[in-house]
Chains A and B, each alone.
Chain A
Amino acid sequence: MKVIVCIKQVPESTEVKLDPKSYTLDRSSSKGIINPFDVNAVEEAMRITEKLENVETIVISMGPPSAEEALKEALTYGLNAAYLLSDKAFAGADTLATAYTLAKAIEKIGNYDLILCGKQAIDGDTAQVGPGIAENLNLTQVTNVKKIDFLDEKTLRVESELEDGYKVIEVKLPAVLTVTKEINIPRIPSFKTARLALKKPITKWAAQDLDNIDKSKIGMDGSPTTVIKVETPTIQKNTVFLKGTPSQIASDLIQKLKERYFI
């Protein structure tokens, strides 16, 4: 069985600076870490290796050269191999172009059974790349997964979180699952495993290394999303005192909440 985990390097701090022109993240302003939901995906891959025999685990990321650090860290958990997709041609990709590029790389790795992603990245919070990979590869997908059970080597029973509960779904592999924090508590990697991981090579692929890639679908060119403006919300306190009879006040309150689209 081959499990591929997709990870993203995100800024550690919540006080991230934005590039004032492009509204993209200024990654130099903060230390990079593995997106926390992706760490759960890495941990889940390791747990699968402990449950089943002959499981090959691969971690993949698209990003600047510094994303290699995130991949190295992922390997310290015990995953077998790592791939970094890094090329100026990939820069400026939105979720559509990112999902396409990752799917092309996964296609090249081949023979995959299960693709695991975090449910979303904590910087963009879009939750689109996992589902996008599934669409590109024409695979079954389940999002917000909080539990995975193997019925047999080709069939899973997963629990997918809903707002007020969860649904149980049987999934035939191959499939893409995006996982939540509830799925597991990631281990602290052992130093022995980490030392071995530091010696593992990381395969680096640029656009030209991917087979049959449509260059109009990668990087800035492949990204229809345009960020018009990003700004920090300002908190204003304008207290309005409503006057009148209780029913009048209630009706005024409902009116004002409707005006502001709260109800």
Chain B
Amino acid sequence: MDFSFTEEQQTLKKIVREFAEKKLAPHVREFEEKGIDYDLVRELYKLGVMGLSLPSKYGGGDTGFLESIIVMEELARICPAFTMAANDTWAGAVVVNSFGKVSQKKKYIIPNLKGEIFSSFATTEAGAGSDTFSMKTTIIPDGDAFIVNGSKAWITNASVADYYIIWGYTDKSKRTRGFTTAILDKGMKGFSFGKKEDLCGFRASFTGSLYFDNVRIPAENIIGSPGDGFLHLMTLLDAGRVAMASIANGISQAALETAITYVKQREQFGRPLADFQSIRMTLADMWTELEASKLISYKCAYLADKNPMDEELIKLASSAKYYASEVAMKIATDALQMCGSMGYSKEMLLEKYFRDAKFMSIGEGTTQIQKLILASRILGSKKVIL
């Protein structure tokens, strides 16, 4: 068992860190006010660090999943909202690559990985969060086309993306076999967007709603066959959970580094805070929990590369997601506490890490849902909980 990054992975980490520190760090507060700058996302595509796990014939890097985790951890160490948005700009390409037709791959993946077009990935609805089966969006055949009706909520890159991977029922009576995956292009008649959501954390993210009012899409925009959607969703959920874990680990890393720097400098009662035993105990806990959290997500990458439908991966991806989220909240809280009033003020970024960390235990399946999935699998049940 080799825990070290290869020379290539270390180089990737260095490149992304340099990008994040030089290009993102100076703008983090500005992003919170105005939203992220997508020109910087385009720069990431030029650097060749987006879509790494996709095939090189479409512009990807032919790498494993660990490389994407490295990219997300490094970006999230500086700006988690940017990271989630940037990652989602090619999440649609993963779906198209795994289940799409060659014509769809050429149309969407190639320009996507050049940074010319962006994707968005939409499952959640106002009445269907973790309870995905209560989804109301429909994708109904109509001659040589399909008609889409319904809406999606809390969607990253809403209105910014150029193509949207959405799920809806073609036949609700068939339950899991009635789900269909479709591609909607921005600008299609009847396809509109809601306002940008005003969030507690991840304020830089363009998160919003999608509305479908009799949107007529050609049959060529259906991914796979009608009714295949559930399989697509199941295959992709684990990667999404590990992606969120990586972002959470990036937040933890940032908060921990900030705390370490502060307690070495700040003096009270004639000595640095770092000399106090209670601070040292807490730092040791923070470091250990972050390390454990990273190792879980790295093991997920190892399993995903071997077999994305591995039973062990289903468990571990939920474990990675909920553990990293809770650790991020704890580390952000402890780091802020160590920095006292300074940590609580906008002079430092800890208050932002604190707000951002909270989202990690909510988005892409709450901590509670992840625990239910995990417990269900540990107990031997294969009951589907999305």
Q: Which residues of A contact B (CB under 8 A)?
A: 76, 188-195, 198
Across the interface, do B22 and A188 meet the contact criterion of CB distance under 8 Å? yes
Across the interface, do B8 and A189 meet the contact criterion of CB distance under 8 Å? no
* Contacting residue for A188 out of B8, B47, B52, B61, CB 8 A: B47
Chain A residue at smallest Cβ distance from B12 = A191
Most chain A C-beta atoms within 10 Å of own C-beta, residue among B12, B48, B61: B48
B18 interface contact, C-beta 8 A: yes
Chain B residue at smallest Cβ distance from A195 = B8
**What distance in Å separates the Cβ of A39 from its nearest Cβ neighbour in chain B?**
11
**What distance in Å separates the Cβ of A36 from its nearest Cβ neighbour in chain B?**
13
Across the interface, do A191 and B61 meet the contact criterion of CB distance under 8 Å? yes
Across the interface, do B48 and A76 meet the contact criterion of CB distance under 8 Å? no
The A/B interface has a contact count, at CB < 8 Å, of 35
Q: Collect the chain B residues with CB atoms within 8 Å of residue A189's CB.
A: 15, 47
Q: Collect the chain B residues with CB atoms within 8 Å of residue A194's CB.
A: 8, 11-12, 15
Q: Collect the chain B residues with CB atoms within 8 Å of residue A195's CB.
A: 8, 11, 61
Q: Chain B binding site: helix, strand, loop or mixed by DSSP? A: helix
Q: Chain A binding site: helix, strand, loop or mixed by DSSP? A: helix
Across the interface, do B47 and A198 meet the contact criterion of CB distance under 8 Å? no
Across the interface, do B15 and A191 meet the contact criterion of CB distance under 8 Å? yes
Across the interface, do A198 and B7 meet the contact criterion of CB distance under 8 Å? yes
Chain B residue at smallest Cβ distance from A185 = B22
Residues 1-41 of chain B: 1 if any A CB is under 8 Å from the residue's CB, otherwise 0?
A: 00000011001100100110011000000000000000000
**CA gap between A114 and B15 in the complex, in Å:** 28
* Contacting residue for A191 out of B7, B22, B23, B49, CB 8 A: B49
Across the interface, do A76 and B11 meet the contact criterion of CB distance under 8 Å? yes
**CA gap between A198 and B10 in the complex, in Å:** 11
A-B pairs with lowest CB-CB distance, top 6: A192-B48, A191-B48, A190-B48, A194-B11, A190-B47, A191-B49
B46 interface contact, C-beta 8 A: yes
**What distance in Å separates the Cβ of B380 from its nearest Cβ neighbour in chain A?**
42
Jot down 13 A-B pairs with beta carbons below 8 A, ordered by A. A188-B19, A188-B22, A188-B47, A189-B15, A191-B12, A191-B15, A191-B49, A191-B61, A192-B48, A195-B8, A195-B11, A198-B7, A198-B11
Q: Collect the chain A residues with CB atoms within 8 Å of residue B47's CB.
A: 188-191
Q: Collect the chain B residues with CB atoms within 8 Å of residue A76's CB.
A: 11, 15
Q: Collect the chain B residues with CB atoms within 8 Å of residue A190's CB.
A: 15, 46-48
Across the interface, do B8 and A198 meet the contact criterion of CB distance under 8 Å? yes
**What distance in Å separates the Cβ of B35 from its nearest Cβ neighbour in chain A?**
23
Q: Collect the chain A residues with CB atoms within 8 Å of residue B7's CB.
A: 198
**CA gap between A188 and B18 in the complex, in Å:** 7
**What distance in Å separates the Cβ of A239 from its nearest Cβ neighbour in chain B?**
26
Chain B residue at smallest Cβ distance from A192 = B48
**What distance in Å separates the Cβ of A54 from its nearest Cβ neighbour in chain B?**
25
**CA gap between A192 and B11 in the complex, in Å:** 11
* Given A189-B15, A191-B47, 13 further pairs, Cβ under 8 A: A188-B15, A188-B18, A188-B22, A188-B23, A188-B47, A189-B47, A191-B11, A191-B52, A192-B48, A192-B61, A194-B8, A195-B61, A198-B7
**CA gap between A250 and B4 in the complex, in Å:** 66
Residues 223-263 of chain B: 1 if any A CB is under 8 Å from the residue's CB, otherwise 0?
A: 00000000000000000000000000000000000000000
Q: Collect the chain A residues with CB atoms within 8 Å of residue B61's CB.
A: 191-192, 195
Q: Collect the chain A residues with CB atoms within 8 Å of residue B12's CB.
A: 191, 194
**What distance in Å separates the Cβ of A112 from its nearest Cβ neighbour in chain B?**
28
